[in-house]
Structure 1
Amino acid sequence: MLATLDRLRLFNVREFVAHLGRTSMAVAVTAVSAALLVAVIGISGSITGSVDQLGSSIAGNAEYEVSGVTDAGFEQSLQPEVARVPGVQAAVPMIRASIGSPNGNLLLIGFDPLAGQGWRSDVQQAVLDQTGGGTELLTVRNGVLVGNGTGWSKGQKVILGDTEVTVAAVVDGDAVERINDGNFVMTTLGLAQQLVNRAGSIDSMLLVTDPGADLDEVRTAVDDTVAGRAVVADPTFRAAQAGGVIAVLQSTTLMAAALGLVVAGFLIYNAMSMAINQRRNVISIVRAIGGNKRAIFRDLLAEAAILSAIGAVIGVGIGMLMGRWTIGLLPATFMQSLQMDIAYSLPWFTVPVVVAACVVSGVGAAAVAARAVYKVAPIEALAPVGVSSADKVGLPLRLVAGVLGAAAIVLSIAAAWIDLGLWSIVSVAMFLNGAVFVCFAFFHELVAATAAVARLFGTPGAVAAATIARAPRRIWVTVISVLIAVSMMVSITGSNTNGVDSAAAAFSPAAAVDIWVQPTSSQVFPTGPLLPRDIEQTIGALPGVAAVVPGQLAYASIGGSKVVVQGLASGTQHPLYEAISEPSRVKVLAGEGVVVSRDIARVLDVEAGSTLTVPTPNGFENVQVLEVFPYFSALTGFVGMSLPLMQQWFDRPGSTLLEVTVDSGADRAAVQAAIEGVVPSSVNVYSGREVLDGMTASLQQATVLISAITWIVVFVAAVALVNTMMLSVLERRRELGVLRAMGSSRRFTMRTVLVEAAAIGIVGGLCGLVVGVLNQYVNTIAFSHVLGLDIAFQLTPPTVVFGLAALLLSLLGAIPPGLHAARLNVIDAVSVD
């Protein structure tokens, strides 16, 4: 053991200090990869963790929760029926909604603080401990309890919705902070119903069972009693739905981060190859005096493990900061259904999993490079660096790599074409990995092509070509690093652009509507609250208004999935209506069936002609699926039906949006201003263009994180090129010194280094453009299935520009080594050991 530690200290740890640049690069690329993985896992973990934490804080010891099919809840008269079910000890009715306040939207919780025998939760305990058993709520008119996150004080009067309330008490403590980070309002069930204009209805019931009761029998009995009028599930049901909402965002960003880990593996391989090349003389000498090849091999793996672990630990800290920062950038469209604030929370398994992944990646890459130790003969201690059998790759290995790469490409295309839903995303990484394996099969051809390109630059190119031929492993790895950077930039940028453009095209009918009236921002779906009942008639009576078409959207639970149900009325020009066929439009408006977006149809396993069972507050309704259509639904899914049918089934009279048509010849801006003057301040009025811009802005925001990850990978590839070109200069230090002594100029020396970099960049960049375009095509097919939207493949100018920018960034990495080569001291270079 002591001998092993001494050997590591003498031959490995000393190398860390002697070659700080190479060591720093290996640590840096691993840190970047770890940071990306931690950031992505932290984002999804924060969302599901926050929802789960809120749910558990409210649910407490409740075994089940009965929730409304839609955000309108269900009739409170259902509560006594459920409470009489054998085995149910308590059925605690609650209101859980988002409500406007001077501090923005807050979580409103309405319940009876004295109800629920046997119910124990953080909510109840906070009330009992700090408010005299809840009596303060009962003695203060319109009294509310608020969390310390609101910043309000006892006795303060505030406006919630349209009602003035009085702060009866401020509750705090650890238990309270777990409830939406202290940003909430609690009050009696009756007042909460008044605040959200929901008299006689509730959002959920928490069910506490009798001790020893058979939970499955209780669940079955409650299901029979509810009979589809509400959803019976575990209290973790909301957290599971939240995870579904962000599943695609999580998967796409995780895939991009995983690609960063692949790049890190190649760069660690590059770094270890450099280490072996520079230490070839030392390895040969150790071999000559009896050193064991296996021991040297293990030492190199240990070296890689140490560097990877250090980088992973650094990356974990950076990733936490990135995750906290990114939480605030998540698109409103993705987050609107959660109705709560998201607090950053990193799952417990993240750190060990990420560190292990980085170490495994680093050790695996180093193992491939360290195989060269077995090819280093003792006699090579006397030979120049670069002239070694270790630099050659045998034909059998290249054939195996070619077969594996071709198989991966075929599988990626199949995964893209076959509708695998979320799993279609695997084709993104599979194609790129397959392309890299194919490039390995053409190892010598790529190196020869690089040397041929270098020769095109005259005499400096001839010198550079000779250098390229002497270090094929280093050249191939660097070419592949540039290829990956350029291809990722082209494919991901192109895929994002195609996706946003296709979604914008699907939403484009929104711009044809003169004016939209809705209670929400233009960047989210108008799922509620309902507009005032007389607003349609008021707007219709204004001068210049030709027609007003109502519509309604609401979140609903169908088949265990959270979907958006949309009611359509005659005369609508809504994008969803325009996305379906003419025969389906006629039948939908007549109430003869529903249309279902492609993504949720896959989850519910329905197709055109199938019967869809829809739970409603009045029980189950069976309806025919008229059409399955492509539509971007922000990862939730859409079900379209006639507005009267939706109002009847879900007990939601009224509308959540209005499409206003202006008389021909009337001033649209003047009419919009007139509408703004008659609607409440809580209602928004937009032009058609503003609604379309809001929808596309939210989509573009969703691609920011993925694009940022891609640029980080490109930057890392540029650092790799700096490192490999610097090694090239160090390897040829004596040669460059001899050339300078023979009369070559500093300019000539610098040009040889730049030509080598240019050749690497051109070959890697061109291959990257080809691979990137092909990968983009596969991506568009895959994401058409993932997003449920037909995405059109198109090469856009920004795609080519970004690809060339990635190539330019890589080429800029050759400037520092070139300057270093030009400034070499001739005497020192010639006399180098």
Structure 2
Amino acid sequence: MIAAAWNRLWLFNFGELWRHPGRTLMSGAVMGVSAALLVAVLSISGSVTGSVDRLTMGLAGNADLEIGGITDAGFDQSLLPAIAATPGVAAAVPMLRQTLGAGDNRALLVGADANVTALGSDLADPLGKHTKALLTTPRGVLVGAAMGYQVGDQIPVGGGTATVAGLLDDPASARLNGGHLVAAPLPLAQFLTNRVGRLDSVQVVVKPGADVGAVRGALTQAVDGRAVVADPTLRTAQAGGAIQILRYSTLMSSAAALIVAAFLIYNAMSMAVAQRRSTLSLLRAIGARRAPMVADMLVEAAMLGLVGGLIGAAIGVFIGRAAIDRLPAAMVQAVESRTEFMLPGYAIPVAVAACVLATVLAAGIAAGQVYRVAPVEALVPVEASPTAAGGRVLRWAALAGAIALYAVAFTLATLDLGRISLGAISTSFAATVLLCFFATGPIVRAAGWVARLFGAPGALGATSLERAPRRVWATAMTVLIGVAAVVALGGASSNMVDSATDSFRSVAAADLYVSPTPPEGFPTGPALPPELAAKVAAIPGVAAVRPAQMAFATVGTGRVLLQGYPPLREDSRLGAVDGPVIEAMGRGEGVVITRDIARAQGLSAGDKITMPTPSGTREVTVLQVIPYFTAISGVVMMSLDQMREWYQRPGETILAIDYAPGADQVAVRAAVRELVPADIHVDAGTEVVEAIASGVRQGSAMSNMILWIVVLVATVALLNTLMLSVLERRRELGVLRAIGTGRRFLLRSVLAEAAGIGVVGATLGLVTGLIVQYLATLAIGHAMTIDIVYRPSVLLLVYGLVALGLALLGSIPPALRAARMPIIAALAVD
């Protein structure tokens, strides 16, 4: 029986795929594109979280809990005895963890003492193996293989230098920050980074049989809010939150590509049915049952999706690997580890399964168009049957579903549900497809009307369109989704970039910024040298120097960005905060928070927010809730002096400098550049704004690229549909050629069909795109906690026309085929 089934599949299904390589390659290619996009998107998010998780587990080993610093300033080492003495704790291993360098030179410094052997971690064995070298080498450290140092080399660490006493072996390097790691004895690490008496984490091993939950509670009491007690996986969860927006936006664009590909597979399978109609009708006439024939068609589609998905998944791995190096700097900065490419185990199976499911569903619809009719009716074009455009009940059900989904989309977009609001985008697209299914008849008539504008050839093309309503609907949907996705998501992305840039425009009010961080990243540290602010203020031509400080901190299980400013109304960086609130903040009466923090904790102005700090838990008043661009994390603003005191972070991480009236700006900037150390950045305010805008654009660039791939997929869909039209009418076209119809007439006829479908699909796409852009703008505003202004751009019409032009390119091959079809071969059909 298995052999018979295989022979039947090869004869009637797989063999057809082999005999029509063009159609097979096109169908497989679009599925491959969809799989590639899905794998790339999943691998990007998986690489960020996977890199953090691998580093976390490599350092934590068999630790059950981790006590972490609330900010990168860590916590006082005096907490260690209380932690170690907590009932149920078998070992408490202190560590110092600090990022060194930036960009390609970014590495992690880890300081640990002899207790690290209790963890059995990837770091424990190298430290034990090189103990003698570390003790006998002045300022001796271990370095990872990827850093390019040799034993005896000098390496800059913090404010000093160290000597390479040994190298981590390749296996340990691979698991520990990709080999970009410096390991040192804890006292040396503290001395080199000027953090004597400070710790960043304590890895806790619980005694066998002890209740981990009870130990956690006891440790929470022991640290008294001055540190965070959590599972070691907390860092991984926080890293996942930092890339959620990028993951959602790219996944939505990839899903649009998959939907368009499914419509294309529907058309391809319809083409296969049309070409095999005589064979299928003969099989039905001699007694073949419907179920095996439908099953064979579904197996054929599944194989097409499987092969295309596997090939595309392999390509997606390379795309994801290349994209890792192009992640926005602010996003990379928000996580502790270097982001190394790591393909999640679920990425390829999910992508391939999605492709197979899409092809099977699309093929099932196409197969049902033939196998629901009687054997004699299988010789008649499917779309000529009364059910071709869908039954009345099905169409009215589609209308009801469309209305319900539009209501859901509007609700999601208008309610401030955070990232859940982004669901309004995909929901509105689904509602549009259902609404257009209800309106299949008007859409087909509109396509025919457009085709008739091309004269007699267009009338012939219109007749062909009206005989194939379901196929016309499916192709119009591919054009609609392609155009609407570019207009809606591209327009909303452009609105987001513009609004985000406008929200930071006040940053340019300062003439210069001095920070240890490049302008595209957050100035979270390390702190600037002491007295630097006073020295800069003394430079001739400098009117004012305003210090500030930023740091990532843990609040609950989430990660926020702390911002401390001098409470001055004239400080442009506080432009979103009301004047009286700035004064209250200066008096230490409370803090300002962004919408996402308020939403997550159910807070509003006047409520109390609990903030753990290295100096103890603080319960403060929320003075104001503000919109603020927070793609990475929420923001808490407070007085600079308050931040220094609470979080035990003296100094500042950024200076804003104003020129004196009439000063020689070039000379002043040169003087500042000469004064500050070489590794500290000096940037103009306009340069900082442009760097921020560039980072936002970079974050949306991948999503926009995917959208144009969707348009190219729609081009292939139109090609497939028109090719099917030509194949179905070979005999008709042969008769026309035999009675003297010219090749040019037939060419224009097929082009008129393409124009009818393309113009109607693109028009609907533009209308849909503008509506969805409005909903997407609201939804992204909630997700980003920023007020985004809805601005339909004239360029969107250009984008729509370009998308239409690309789609119409798909009409050229079938039009040429129709014009060049030999008369005798065409008349010989059937």
Amino acid paired to 1:128: G
C-alpha separation in 1, matches of 2:197 and 2:614:
13
Say which of 573, 592, 597 aligns to 1:595.
Answer: 592
Amino acid paired to 2:206: T
C-alpha separation in 1, matches of 2:676 and 2:172:
40
Instruction: After TM superposition, give the deviation of residue 669 of structure 1 in Å.
Output: 2.4
Is residue 2:426 matched to residue 1:425? no
Determine helix, strand or coil for the equivalent of 1:814.
Answer: helix
Residues 205, 15 of structure 1: CA spacing in aligned structure 2 closer, same or farther, 3 A cutoff? Answer: same
C-alpha separation in 2, matches of 1:288 and 1:213:
74
8 Å CA contact 1:549–1:570 kept in 2: the answer is no
Identify the residue that residue 118 of structure 1 maps to in structure 2. Answer: 118
Identify the residue that residue 108 of structure 2 maps to in structure 1. Answer: 107
Is residue 2:364 matched to residue 1:363? no
| Stretch of structure 1 that moved more, 536-545 or 343-352 | 343-352
Identify the residue that residue 47 of structure 1 maps to in structure 2. Answer: 48
C-alpha separation in 1, matches of 2:22 and 2:438:
30
Is residue 2:456 matched to residue 1:462? no
Say which of 287, 306, 325 aligns to 1:309.
Answer: 306
8 Å CA contact 2:62–2:120 kept in 1: the answer is yes
C-alpha separation in 2, matches of 1:445 and 1:185:
68
Identify the residue that residue 83 of structure 1 maps to in structure 2. Answer: 84
8 Å CA contact 1:509–1:573 kept in 2: the answer is no
Say which of 615, 634, 645 aligns to 1:637.
Answer: 634
Instruction: After TM superposition, give the deviation of residue 100 of structure 1 in Å.
Output: 2.8
**What do residues 334-366 of structure 1 show as CA deviations (whole Å, max 9, x unaligned)?**
110213211111222223232222222221222
C-alpha separation in 2, matches of 1:382 and 1:571:
82
8 Å CA contact 1:281–1:380 kept in 2: the answer is no
C-alpha separation in 2, matches of 1:542 and 1:284:
91
Is residue 2:231 matched to residue 1:234? yes
Determine helix, strand or coil for the equivalent of 1:516.
Answer: strand
Is residue 2:99 matched to residue 1:98? yes
Instruction: After TM superposition, give the deviation of residue 389 of structure 1 in Å.
Output: 4.0
Identify the residue that residue 683 of structure 1 maps to in structure 2. Answer: 680
Determine helix, strand or coil for the equivalent of 2:208.
Answer: coil
8 Å CA contact 2:507–2:573 kept in 1: the answer is no
| Stretch of structure 1 that moved more, 257-266 or 531-540 | 257-266
Say which of 475, 484, 489 aligns to 1:487.
Answer: 484
Identify the residue that residue 624 of structure 2 maps to in structure 1. Answer: 627
C-alpha separation in 2, matches of 1:549 and 1:166:
38
C-alpha separation in 2, matches of 1:720 and 1:111:
60
Percent identity between the aligned chains? 47
8 Å CA contact 1:31–1:315 kept in 2: the answer is yes
| Stretch of structure 1 that moved more, 83-92 or 98-107 | 98-107
8 Å CA contact 1:297–1:373 kept in 2: the answer is no
Instruction: After TM superposition, give the deviation of residue 237 of structure 1 in Å.
Output: 1.1
8 Å CA contact 1:98–1:105 kept in 2: the answer is yes
Is residue 2:396 matched to residue 1:395? no
| Stretch of structure 1 that moved more, 60-69 or 822-831 | 822-831
Amino acid paired to 1:115: N
C-alpha separation in 1, matches of 2:628 and 2:245:
15
8 Å CA contact 1:102–1:159 kept in 2: the answer is no
| Stretch of structure 1 that moved more, 169-178 or 102-111 | 102-111
Identify the residue that residue 546 of structure 2 maps to in structure 1. Answer: 549
C-alpha separation in 1, matches of 2:338 and 2:474:
45
Determine helix, strand or coil for the equivalent of 1:619.
Answer: coil
C-alpha separation in 2, matches of 1:649 and 1:555:
14
Identify the residue that residue 322 of structure 1 maps to in structure 2. Answer: 319
Identify the residue that residue 267 of structure 2 maps to in structure 1. Answer: 270
C-alpha separation in 1, matches of 2:729 and 2:133:
83
Identify the residue that residue 606 of structure 1 maps to in structure 2. Answer: 603
Residues 748, 575 of structure 1: CA spacing in aligned structure 2 closer, same or farther, 3 A cutoff? Answer: farther
Identify the residue that residue 61 of structure 1 maps to in structure 2. Answer: 62
C-alpha separation in 2, matches of 1:622 and 1:386:
69
Query: Structure 1, unaligned stretches of length 5 or more?
Result: none
Is residue 2:795 matched to residue 1:798? yes
Instruction: After TM superposition, give the deviation of residue 21 of structure 1 in Å.
Output: 2.2
Instruction: After TM superposition, give the deviation of residue 750 of structure 1 in Å.
Output: 1.1
8 Å CA contact 1:293–1:373 kept in 2: the answer is no
Residue correspondence of structure 1 range 220-619 to structure 2 within 5 A? 220-380=217-377, 383=380, 387-389=384-386, 391-571=388-568, 576-619=573-616
Amino acid paired to 2:128: L
C-alpha separation in 1, matches of 2:28 and 2:382:
25
C-alpha separation in 2, matches of 1:661 and 1:709:
43
Instruction: After TM superposition, give the deviation of residue 791 of structure 1 in Å.
Output: 0.8
Amino acid paired to 1:580: V
8 Å CA contact 1:549–1:571 kept in 2: the answer is no
Instruction: After TM superposition, give the deviation of residue 755 of structure 1 in Å.
Output: 1.1
Determine helix, strand or coil for the equivalent of 2:123.
Answer: helix
| Stretch of structure 1 that moved more, 233-242 or 100-109 | 100-109
Instruction: After TM superposition, give the deviation of residue 115 of structure 1 in Å.
Output: 2.5
Identify the residue that residue 163 of structure 2 maps to in structure 1. Answer: 166
Determine helix, strand or coil for the equivalent of 2:596.
Answer: helix
8 Å CA contact 1:510–1:574 kept in 2: the answer is no
| Stretch of structure 1 that moved more, 34-43 or 765-774 | 34-43
Instruction: After TM superposition, give the deviation of residue 379 of structure 1 in Å.
Output: 2.1
Determine helix, strand or coil for the equivalent of 1:454.
Answer: helix
Residues 103, 439 of structure 1: CA spacing in aligned structure 2 closer, same or farther, 3 A cutoff? Answer: closer
Query: Structure 2, unaligned stretches of length 5 or more?
Result: none
Amino acid paired to 2:286: I
Amino acid paired to 2:74: G
| Stretch of structure 1 that moved more, 569-578 or 28-37 | 569-578
| Stretch of structure 1 that moved more, 337-346 or 320-329 | 337-346
Residues 574, 184 of structure 1: CA spacing in aligned structure 2 closer, same or farther, 3 A cutoff? Answer: farther
Residues 101, 725 of structure 1: CA spacing in aligned structure 2 closer, same or farther, 3 A cutoff? Answer: closer
Provide the aligned C-alpha RMSD in A.
1.7
**What do residues 180-238 of structure 1 show as CA deviations (whole Å, max 9, x unaligned)?**
11111111112211222212211111112222222222111111010011111111111
Instruction: After TM superposition, give the deviation of residue 26 of structure 1 in Å.
Output: 2.2
Residues 571, 516 of structure 1: CA spacing in aligned structure 2 closer, same or farther, 3 A cutoff? Answer: farther
8 Å CA contact 1:509–1:574 kept in 2: the answer is no
Instruction: After TM superposition, give the deviation of residue 714 of structure 1 in Å.
Output: 0.9
Instruction: After TM superposition, give the deviation of residue 396 of structure 1 in Å.
Output: 1.3
Identify the residue that residue 36 of structure 1 maps to in structure 2. Answer: 37
Say which of 124, 130, 140 aligns to 1:143.
Answer: 140
Residues 245, 573 of structure 1: CA spacing in aligned structure 2 closer, same or farther, 3 A cutoff? Answer: farther
C-alpha separation in 1, matches of 2:23 and 2:104:
52
Instruction: After TM superposition, give the deviation of residue 466 of structure 1 in Å.
Output: 1.0
Is residue 2:12 matched to residue 1:15? no
C-alpha separation in 2, matches of 1:242 and 1:108:
19
8 Å CA contact 2:594–2:625 kept in 1: the answer is yes
Instruction: After TM superposition, give the deviation of residue 385 of structure 1 in Å.
Output: 7.2
Determine helix, strand or coil for the equivalent of 1:391.
Answer: coil
8 Å CA contact 1:57–1:121 kept in 2: the answer is yes
C-alpha separation in 2, matches of 1:590 and 1:394:
71
Determine helix, strand or coil for the equivalent of 2:612.
Answer: strand
C-alpha separation in 2, matches of 1:727 and 1:265:
16
8 Å CA contact 1:506–1:575 kept in 2: the answer is no
8 Å CA contact 2:264–2:716 kept in 1: the answer is no
Instruction: After TM superposition, give the deviation of residue 102 of structure 1 in Å.
Output: 11
Determine helix, strand or coil for the equivalent of 2:30.
Answer: helix
Identify the residue that residue 182 of structure 1 maps to in structure 2. Answer: 179
Instruction: After TM superposition, give the deviation of residue 576 of structure 1 in Å.
Output: 5.0
C-alpha separation in 1, matches of 2:759 and 2:627:
40
| Stretch of structure 1 that moved more, 136-145 or 87-96 | 87-96
Determine helix, strand or coil for the equivalent of 1:626.
Answer: strand
Instruction: After TM superposition, give the deviation of residue 39 of structure 1 in Å.
Output: 1.2
